[in-house]
């Protein structure tokens, strides 16, 4: 079954946040990847596999209910050691394998230093009210439902958008979902701004304005992801009897080498880690004032529009063709089988 699938029992079309982001980059790319299920050549598999190791080691460490720094580090390092023993990534040499292991160990320690102890305490706070198994993943599935206009003005239909977080903890009156990602590079402006009003709102609006040359699919995708995850957390809180909480969403990068320092003489690695709370750049104060929930009407309405186009099978990459051709096609895994790309190349040669 493709992601763009119909769920007859609940009468809702199912999409994913990853699919939405692909669609924002290029609707045809979405069709190849998710509707036809064609596998591209994925160069990021190695990084993703290493992030998966760390994700599993951290979640296993958080699951035991420990909140002491040293105990957490030891538990996660022990788990990483076991996972690493079964990790069959090919390396050029034993020295390189040892080095990569040190980088992962340093990343685990940086995680516990920066946020791990606080997050473990927040999980403990929530376990007083609900089952721990519902709080620690990895990859806890969330689902957010949006209503979209039916085709040709027919009745609204429901679209269910799936996402995941790796664990959930309490921060004051908020329930916070945390997702581990390789890096924060694709967030762009969202990495440095903590308000929707101003530059973030402007860039979001401009992305959908064909009169501008602003084309920021990853940035828009991150705001859509925040809307979907915050909505999914709200639904999960209702199931867990936590409906009085506001919901927040944080990304934590586990493969960002820009903060890593290697001392080759002493064979040591040091790194630090930065998390980004995407909630503040997502919520608009007007909608928050009206609903007392973390929402953004501009983002939520646009999300419904894009989900509706996707669910209706609108895959022509014509709207932003110039930007897609210059920014997305050069690195697209499907260019060899894409009629738009081939036609463009033929025109260029002719």
Site of interaction with ligand SF4 (CB under 6 A): 26, 28-29, 32, 317, 324, 328-329, 332, 334-335, 338, 340-341
Minimum gap (Å) between residue 36 Cβ and ligand SF4: 11
Minimum gap (Å) between residue 202 Cβ and ligand SF4: 26
CA atoms within 13 A on the CB side of 228: 30
Site of tokens 């609204």: 156
Q: At what angle do helices 17-25 and 217-239 cross, to 10 degrees?
A: 160
Integer Cα distance of 340 and 330 in angstroms = 13
Cβ closest to ligand SF4, residue 124 vs residue 340: 340
Cβ closest to ligand SF4, residue 28 vs residue 79: 28
Give the pair of three-digit tokens for residue 56: 């599993």
CB contact at 8 A, 71 and 116:
no
Cβ closest to ligand SF4, residue 120 vs residue 328: 328
Q: Return the closest-CA partner of residue 13 out of 313, 327, 344, 337.
A: 313
CB contact at 8 A, 228 and 279:
no
Cβ closest to ligand SF4, residue 4 vs residue 179: 4
Cβ closest to ligand SF4, residue 129 vs residue 316: 316
Site of tokens 């996660």: 76
Minimum gap (Å) between residue 344 Cβ and ligand SF4: 8
CB contact at 8 A, 160 and 147:
no
CB contact at 8 A, 34 and 2:
yes
Cβ closest to ligand SF4, residue 208 vs residue 321: 321
Minimum gap (Å) between residue 327 Cβ and ligand SF4: 9
Cβ closest to ligand SF4, residue 128 vs residue 346: 346
Minimum gap (Å) between residue 317 Cβ and ligand SF4: 5
Integer Cα distance of 10 and 262 in angstroms = 53
Minimum gap (Å) between residue 25 Cβ and ligand SF4: 7
Minimum gap (Å) between residue 334 Cβ and ligand SF4: 5
- Work out the number of other CB atoms within 10 angstroms of the CB of residue 73: 20
DSSP 273: -
- Work out the number of other CB atoms within 10 angstroms of the CB of residue 113: 14
**Coil, strand or helix: which one is 263?**
strand
């Amino acid at each position: 079954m493709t992601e763009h699938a119909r769920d007859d029992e609940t009468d809702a079309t199912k999409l994913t946040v990853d699919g939405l982001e692909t669609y924002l980059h290029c609707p045809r790319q979405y069709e190849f990847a998710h509707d036809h299920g064609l596998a591209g050549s994925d160069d990021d598999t190695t990084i993703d596999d290493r992030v998966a190791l760390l994700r599993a080691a951290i979640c296993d460490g958080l699951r035991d209910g420990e909140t002491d720094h040293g105990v957490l580090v030891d538990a996660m390092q022990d788990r990483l050691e076991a996972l690493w023993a079964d990790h069959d990534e090919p390396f050029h040499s034993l020295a390189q394998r040892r080095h990569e292991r040190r980088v992962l160990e340093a990343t685990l320690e940086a995680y516990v230093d920066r946020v791990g102890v606080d997050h473990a305490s927040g999980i403990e706070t929530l376990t007083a009210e609900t089952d721990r198994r519902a709080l620690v993943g990895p990859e806890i599935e969330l689902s957010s439902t949006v209503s979209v206009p039916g085709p040709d003005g027919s009745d609204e239909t429901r679209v269910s958008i799936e996402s995941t977080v790796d664990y959930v903890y309490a921060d004051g009156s908020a329930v916070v979902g945390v997702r581990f990602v390789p890096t924060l590079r694709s967030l762009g402006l969202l990495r440095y701004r903590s308000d929707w009003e101003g530059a973030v709102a402007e860039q979001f609006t401009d992305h959908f304005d064909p009169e501008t040359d602003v084309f920021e699919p990853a940035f828009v995708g991150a705001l859509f992801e925040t809307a979907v995850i915050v909505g999914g957390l709200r639904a999960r809180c209702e199931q867990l009897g936590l409906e009085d909480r506001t919901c927040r969403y944080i990304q934590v990068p586990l493969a960002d080498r820009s903060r890593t320092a290697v001392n080759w003489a002493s064979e040591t690695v040091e790194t630090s880690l930065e998390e980004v709370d995407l909630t503040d750049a997502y919520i608009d104060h007007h909608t928050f004032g009206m609903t007392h929930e973390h929402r953004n009407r501009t983002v939520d309405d646009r999300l419904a529009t894009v989900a509706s186009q996707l669910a209706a099978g609108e895959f022509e990459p014509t709207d932003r063709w110039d930007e897609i051709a210059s920014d997305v096609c050069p690195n697209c895994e499907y260019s060899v089988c894409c009629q738009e790309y081939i036609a463009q190349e033929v025109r260029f040669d002719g």
